[in-house]
Every structure is written in structure tokens, then in C-alpha cells.
Amino acid sequence: MLSLPVLGALGLAGCAGQQPAPQSAPAPAATTAAAAAAPGRQMRPEETEIYTPVPKIVTPGVNGAAPSDAVVLFNGSSLDEWVLSKDKSSATWPVSDGIFTVNKAAGGIETKRSFTDYQLHIEWRIPVGITGSGQARGNSGVFLASTGAGDAGYELQVLDSYNNTTYVNGQAGSIYKQSPPLVNAMRPPGEWQTYDVVWTAPRFNADGSVKSPAYVTVLHNGVLVQNHYALKGPTQYIGIPSYSTAHGAAPIKLQAHGDPSPPISFRNIWIREL
């Protein structure tokens, strides 16, 4: 199982909505290339050493805790960083003992803040004694970018996929109705699951056409289940997904699914903007 410090070691730091600044070499590339191509010329080790910019220092968290540069979206005590998706009023999902639980009657919740590119950590749990089967068994979702009301956005599926058969692009770890997980890394009900996500938002041209699609990498319980997958568009329950509407930074949304099974719970949510 890959630990969270492994993700932290990836060095995914920068500014929201921007690609990381390119590192500078000690000599212009053209000069270095010309020197390397000179007949009989032996390059020195220093000519391929890079010293700036110096990566900033980030203190990793311990046992899944947030690193020093993260924004904590749930600290175990309140949902101050969240609102109800339907009307942007205060989130009313119940909080107790360091976790919060889906309130299906209230509807989904989303972050007050909007994000572009990021690294996300979120933990969730299917309750012991879960009932139902297929999609009606512990169903929820993490919308990596909410693009509107209801279930509009890009959904990373949450489901009890421990000994529960359903369509593979709808099981836990899937990009719903698009990409099945590479493996099923599900733990049994009652145990905490983790998602660690690296999300690159889509970019659009001035005319609204797609410049570059969204990309996502997901680790489920430390196991790679989505490997830099290029999304075809926002989640589409019926039909083929496509990028029909351009958008910028967006909230992250948690789904209150209407299936009749008991509600699931979440804890320890943090994000690093890239």
C-alpha cells in the first residue's frame, strides 16, 4: 500500500490554475546543445545540474494528516468549508466523533471554495450492516469539479464494491460511466477507505472549444486505480460525455444519492492546490 507521504513526495506544489514554473538550467539550451555536439567535446557534470528555482519546503502529515501547505476541508469538528449545493446555505449533514454522515434528505454538499488543479485526500466508510445490491448499496460520489446543480460535474464513484456486483464503470474507484478502476481495492464495510486524487482541470479556448481535457490520477487505499486518465467530459448518466460548456475553477461536491441503503460517512479531507 502506498502511504500518503509517497504522494507528498511527488512535490506537486504551485499555484492554483497554473502549470508549475519550468526549472531553469545553468546555461541556455542552445549553448549546451551546441557544446555537446562539438566534435571531441566532453561535457562537464555541472552543465546538466539545475539549481533554481529551489522547491519550497512542505512538511508531510503523519498517518494521513494534512501536509503543511494543504487547505483542510474537514477537520473533524465542523462543515464550515461546505454548503448545500442546492441553495448554498449552511451544510446540514450531521457531524459527530470526528466524522460526518450523508443527509440524503438535505441533498449534496459542495465546498465554498473553487479549485482548478489540485491534490485531494478524502476518507469514507460504508457502514457495517449495509443493505442493498449493485448501485443501491452505499452509493455516493466525489465530484472533482461541480459544474452545476444536482449531479452536474465529473464524478469519482463511491460505492460498496466489496463482494457487490455492478457495471465496472460504476464501481468504487471508477470515473463514473467512463473509466473502470484498474483494480478493485475495496476494503470491507465498516473499514475506512481512502482516495488520493491528482486532478488537472480541463482548459478551453476563447470560443469554448476544448484546449486540453481533464486528467485524473486516483489511488484507492494506496493502490493506483486511475492512471492519468483523460476524461471525455463531465459525467453523463445517459448518453456519451462531452465538453459542451466551458468552465473555470469549480467547487468539489459530495453526492447525497437517493438509494435506500444506510448513508455513508466521511472524514479527514484536505486539498493542495497545484
CB 100 within 8 A of CB 93: yes
CA 235 to chain CA centroid, Å, is: 15
Digit-by-digit pLDDT tens for the chain (274 residues) are 444 444 444 443 344 444 444 444 455 555 556 666 678 889 999 999 999 999 999 999 999 999 999 999 999 999 999 999 999 999 999 999 999 999 999 999 999 999 999 999 999 999 999 999 999 999 999 999 999 999 999 999 999 999 999 999 999 999 999 999 999 999 999 999 999 999 999 999 999 999 999 999 999 999 999 999 999 999 999 999 999 999 999 999 999 999 999 999 999 999 999 9
**pLDDT computed for residue 9 by the predictor:** 40
CA dist 144 to 45, 55, 153, 255, Å?
Answer: 43, 27, 7, 11
As to burial, measured by CB atoms within 10 angstroms (0-12 exposed, 13-18 middle, 19+ buried), residue 266 is: buried
CA dist 227 to 77, 124, 218, 248, 269, Å?
Answer: 33, 21, 7, 23, 21
CB 244 within 8 A of CB 209: no
Residues 6+ apart with CB under 8 A from 267: 74, 76, 98, 99, 100, 123, 124, 125, 192
d(CA 13, CA 19): 10
Q: What angle do CA 248, 14, 229 make, to 5 degrees?
A: 60
**pLDDT computed for residue 30 by the predictor:** 54
C-beta neighbour count of 50 within 10 angstroms:
10
Sheet of strand 253-254, all strands in order from the earlier edge strand to the far edge: 82-84, 109-111, 253-254, 140-146, 153-158
Indicate the DSSP class of residue 8.
H
d(CA 158, CA 254): 10
d(CA 257, CA 172): 14
CA 107 to chain CA centroid, Å, is: 21
